[in-house]
Amino acid sequence: MGHPVLLEQARSVDAFDTPKLHALIEDMRDTMQSKSGAGIAAPQIGVSFQVVLFGVEATPRYPDAPSVPFTVLVNPVVEVLGEELEDGWEGCLSVPGMRGLVPRYSRIHYRGFDQFGNEIDRRVDGFHARVVQHECDHLQGILYPLRIRDLRQFGFNEELFPEQEFPDEK
Ligand code: NI
């Protein structure tokens, strides 16, 4: 947080299934997995393109979270379904060691492409919808602290959740 690339609108990808795109995705996947993240967006590794990755299966960062299929999403478009919001705790690889309580839309419809240009079109809710909104926000230059409504609900992991362990963030 603080690097200007994280505040930029990312550019759309115009060529699929290229060595450059595959290399970017591999770098993102390595970074996300080494930090046990639920997702990552290209600007987080300094590349201002509309590419996000996400997927959750029993990560130590979100021990109670339901699983989300591993997904590569390029040039995403997110449409909100209904007005319902729900609060949930979020962290971010660009804001290490911290959590904040963030309202997100409960249900969304998202579309985009995988790295080969195949279309992705899903209606999701709950944690899956939260992860997609968080990652796609990165492509608009929005970090989750900008979404927090009550900044008293923002702080260091160890202070907010003293009983929980954060093995990957020390
Ligand atoms: Ni993030």
What is the structure's pLDDT at 59?
Answer: 59
Total domains present in the chain: 1
Q: What is the CATH number of the domain that holds 142?
A: 3.90.45.10
Asked whether residue 154 is domain-assigned, the answer is yes
Catalytic residue positions, numbered: 135
What is the DSSP annotation of the chain? ---GGGGSPPBPP---S-HHHHHHHHHHHHHHHHTT-SEEEGGGGT--BSEEEEEESS-TTSTTPPPEEEEEEEEEEEEE-SS-EEEEEE--TTSTTEEEEEEEESEEEEEEE-TTS-EEEEEEEHHHHHHHHHHHHHHTT--GGGG-S-GGGEEEHHHH-TTS--GGG-
Asked whether residue 169 is domain-assigned, the answer is no
Residue 84 CA, distance from chain mean position: 20
Asked whether residue 128 is domain-assigned, the answer is yes
pLDDT (tens digit per residue) in 9-66: 999 999 999 999 999 999 999 999 998 889 999 999 999 999 999 998 865 666 666 7
Asked whether residue 167 is domain-assigned, the answer is no
Asked whether residue 129 is domain-assigned, the answer is yes
Asked whether residue 166 is domain-assigned, the answer is no
126 Cα to the center of ligand 1, angstroms: 17
Give me the domain span that covers residue 112. 4-160
167 pLDDT higher than 70: no
- 95 neighbors 71 (Cβ within 8 angstroms): no
pTM for the full model?
Answer: 0.93
71 Cα to the center of ligand 1, angstroms: 15
132 Cα to the center of ligand 1, angstroms: 10
From residue 164, give the alpha-carbon distance in Å to each of 63, 64, 104, 156: 9, 11, 24, 12
What is the structure's pLDDT at 42?
Answer: 98
5-43 CB burial, b ≥16 within 10 A, e <16: ebeeebeebeeeeeeebeebbeebeeebeebbbbbbbbb
2 Cα to the center of ligand 1, angstroms: 13
- φ/ψ (deg, to 5) at 109: -115, 120
What is the structure's pLDDT at 57?
Answer: 81
Asked whether residue 170 is domain-assigned, the answer is no
